[in-house]
Amino acid sequence: MANASVAQPYVPPPSHRADVILDSSWRFIQQNVTNGQAIDLDDSSWTNVNLPHTWDIADGQDGPATAYYRGIGWYRTHYTVSNDYSGLHFFLKFDGAFSDANVWINGSYLGEHQGGFAAFVFDVTPYVNIGGDNVIAVEVNNSFSPNLPPLNADFTMWGGIYRDVHLLVTDPVQISPLDYGSPGVYLTTTGVSSNCANLQVTTVVSNSTPCPRP
């Protein structure tokens, strides 16, 4: 009798995806700064902080809501991208910043995100210096705005980059993180019984190469 075939374990293709946490060694100042995004700005007098960080940690519970600082703060950090990442794609992800953030890398403006409770992501591939220094600058503002909820609350509107920051490194064809900062994979239950459950899997895929990919 012929031997029964043995199913081989599935081996996924190699992936260069990396999630680099950029939480350490930031410079911070609690005020507005002209051209705070400039590459050659001297920020040596700023305070050294690690993320997560809020500038209201000292005054956020000092009496009425008007007692704590609501305004602009600037953050800057330097990061050297490894030559091992040459040819790959780069995204800068913020898990949360309260409540209005403008972001630059190497002096190039990436965009603005409004809202203090959601993650947001920028594609930084065109601006990254592979093998060299990269300057990330973030202007955060927690001033009152009639366009940003909550308008009133019984808690402090903690200003700052109060969650992690990531550099996501991916292949040029990747599951995209740009869909509102989500993982890019969605599961929807289409049927449930006492014996089984059916799921629909939707994946947001991005191809940054000039050619179609299967």
Indicate left, alpha or beta for 201 from its phi (over 0: left) and psi (-120 to 50: alpha).
Answer: beta
Q: Is residue 13 part of a domain?
A: no
* pLDDT single digits (tens) 33-47: 999 999 999 999 999
Has residue 206 been placed in a domain? no
Give the pLDDT score at 66. 61
What CATH number does residue 141 fall under?
Answer: 2.60.120.260
201 domain residue, yes or no: no
Total domains, the chain: 1
Q: Tell me, yes or no, if the pTM score tops 0.75.
A: yes
| 167 in a structural domain | yes
Q: Does residue 128 belong to any structural domain of this protein? A: yes
Quote the pLDDT of residue 61: 74
CA angle 98, 102, 103 (to 5 degrees): 115
Q: Does 8 reside within a domain? A: no
Q: Which domain holds residue 79?
A: 18-172
Domain assignment of residue 6, yes or no: no
Which residues, given as ranges, of the chain have pLDDT below 70?
1-4, 62-66, 214
Decide if 208 is inside a domain. no
Do 82 and 132 contact (CB within 8 A), yes or no? no
